[in-house]
Amino acid sequence: MAPAMTASDTTSDALRTGDPQVAELITAEERRQAQTLKLIASENYVSAAVLEASGTVLTNKYSEGYTGRRYYEGQQVIDQIETLAIDRAKAVFGVEHANVQPYSGSPANLAVYLATVDPGDTVMGMSLPMGGHLTHGWSVSATGKWFRAVHYDVRKDTGRIDFDQVRETALAERPKLIFCGGTAIPRTIDFPAFAEIAKEVGAILVADIAHIAGLVAGGAHPSPVGHADIITTTTHKTLRGPRGAMILTGEEYAKPIDKAVFPGLQGGPHNHTTAGIAVALGEAARPEFRDYAQQVVTNAAVLADELKGRGFDLVSGGTDNHLILMDLTSKGVGGKPVAKHLDNAGLEANYNTVPFDPRKPFDPSGLRLGTAALTSRGMAEGEMREVARWLDEVVTAAAGDADALESTISRVRGEVSELTGRFPTPGLDG
């Protein structure tokens, strides 16, 4: 057995002295992240450089406005940092304009609405239960309350987007804005098909690539550039940056988008986050990032094949990207209890609705998995096969008696700990 690797304590003497309680909690979280397998599709590990840039004196500075046009003095350094992040975003994604100020993905999407449509206008996005996002016009979101939202689904027989329905709905409803992308889409997004429909009805096409931005940057997923009028993305997930967002456009929408972000929706940007975004984009421009992106997709495909071989039902039958959506109905268990059991076994995942799910959203039939974080730790095909075995063992035990489940969880937890001990945790280990 290989010697276990343990995450170093990154808390400083200042924090340990100034607030030992918070320092202890952060150290506990570092230990937890190092000793578990992160299978949540929206999570990843950032590098030590991104962590360091995100936790600096830049948090002390207010910078309302844009480079060269601020409302506070003392922006000589901040302007250079934001310009660097913008230039790197434009280069990595091949766009004419980038706004790196949105606080997160949802505000970025809200800025698109503010820049392009008026309250009450018709907008269209993927239905949330089918894999879409709240901010694509779902009823409980402000976007579903302020706009007249219509939605498209996936086909029941294939689990893939029903483009006949997309076109028919667009022609019938004439939306001013069409969103493509979402939170639980395991297949390649056909940006050209969406662009053709949007052009036919005179709609603005927005590609929300929050989940796949790192794959796009690394060439492992087709780019929406040249097809979508506006692109929104978070900067974490597969892109491996801090918790922020970007809006990418051509010159046509540059000014409306910038005005919508500031002063339309928010005040000063979080400069420490902007620095972290700049570092992450610098990393994404390196050749090794392309290797990482391709391995993410390879790992997901192997994990999906292994799960199918063990009798799991996968939405759409598999995956083209980093994400796998499992329907546990045939296993006789719900997604929520299984996610809890897996967490106890050291396997982090999240319960999720599946298309046409008969169960309620807070107790759905599905489980969502992702391979980006495991890939960031250096894991490859062999480890994916081990993960599939553990998933199968815990799910099978969950459908049986409590004693067998407890024993399985305990054994799997030990095996997971042995595996994680062989792979460094980015940002924490050397």
Tell me if 211 is assigned to a ligand binding site. Answer: no
Among 285, 319, 338, residue at a domain's last position? 285
Tokens of 175: 């939306």
Q: Which of 243, 259, 285 delimits the end of a domain?
A: 285
Query: What integer pLDDT is reported at residue 12 of this predicted model?
Result: 84
Residue 39 lies in a domain: no
- Contact criterion met (CB below 8 Å) for 242 and 252: no
> Following DSSP, what letter does each residue of 42-86 receive, concatenated?
T-----HHHHHHHSSGGGG----EETTEESSS--HHHHHHHHHHH
Based on the residue annotation, tell me whether 152 is a catalytic residue of this protein.
Answer: no
pLDDT at 2: 41
Distances (CA, A) of 287 to 46, 236, 277, 292: 17, 19, 18, 9
- Per-residue pLDDT at 430: 55
Task: Specify the CATH number for the domain of residue 231.
Answer: 3.40.640.10
Is 133 a known ligand-binding residue?
yes
Please check whether residue 202 lies inside any domain of the structure.
yes
Among the three residues 263, 285, 307, which one is the final residue of a domain in this structure?
Answer: 285
Q: What is the CATH number of the domain that holds 390?
A: 3.90.1150.10
16 labelled catalytic:
no
pLDDT for 130: 96
As a whole number, mean pLDDT of residues 219-239 equals 98
Q: For the whole prediction, is pTM greater than 0.75?
A: yes
- Given 243, 310, 359, 422, the catalytic residue: 243
Average pLDDT value over all residues in the chain: 96
- The distance of Cα 123 from the centroid of its chain, to the nearest Å, equals 23
What three-state secondary structure class fits 393?
helix
Catalytic residue chosen out of the listed positions 82, 208, 283, 327: 208
Residue partners of 151: CB distance under 8 A and separation at least 6 = 124, 125, 126, 127, 130, 132, 136, 137, 169
Q: Active-site residue among 38, 237, 368, 413? A: 237
4 pLDDT tier (thresholds 50, 70, 90) = very low
Dihedral, CA atoms, 141, 154, 168, 206, nearest 10 degrees? 50
239 annotated ligand binder = no
Distances (CA, A) of 341 to 193, 333, 334, 345: 40, 11, 11, 6
Choosing from 43, 62, 173, 329, the catalytic residue is: 62
Answer whether 120's CB lies under 8 Å from 147's CB: yes
Distance CA 265, CA 135 (A): 15
Catalytic residue among 64, 196, 392, 429: 64
Q: Domain span at residue 82?
A: 54-285
Q: What is the pLDDT of residues 11-45, one digit of tens each?
A: 788 999 999 999 999 999 999 999 999 999 999 99
- Are residues 279 and 155 located together in one domain of the fold? yes
The predicted-structure confidence for 122-149, as pLDDT tens digits, reads as follows 999 999 999 999 999 999 999 999 999 9
Per-residue pLDDT, 6: 46
For residue 10, the model assigns a pLDDT of: 73
Is the per-residue pLDDT at 235 higher than 70? yes
Judge whether 13 lies within some domain: no
248 plus 309 within the same structural domain = no
Residue-wise pLDDT for 182-225, tens only, equals 999 999 999 999 999 999 999 999 999 999 999 999 999 999 99
pLDDT (0 to 100) of residue 11: 78
Quick check: is 199 catalytic? no
pLDDT tens for 57-96 read 999 999 999 999 999 999 999 999 999 999 999 999 999 9
102-116 average pLDDT score: 98
The residue annotated as part of the active site, out of 169, 232, 234, 235, is 234
Judgement on whether residues 307 and 248 belong to the same structural domain of the protein:
no
For residue 151, say whether it is annotated as part of any ligand binding site: no
Give mean pLDDT, residues 239-251. 98
Same domain, 118 and 164: yes
Is 366 annotated as ligand-binding? no
HSE-up (13 A, CA, CB side) for residue 370: 25
Q: Name the pLDDT band for 423 (thresholds 50, 70, 90).
A: very high
Please write the tens of the pLDDT for every residue from 320-330.
Answer: 999 999 999 99
Among this protein's residues, is 62 annotated catalytic? yes
- The conformation of residue 205, written as its DSSP 8-state character, comes to E
| pLDDT of 3 | 40
Determine whether 234 is an active site residue.
Answer: yes
In percent, the amount of the chain with pLDDT more than 70 equals: 98
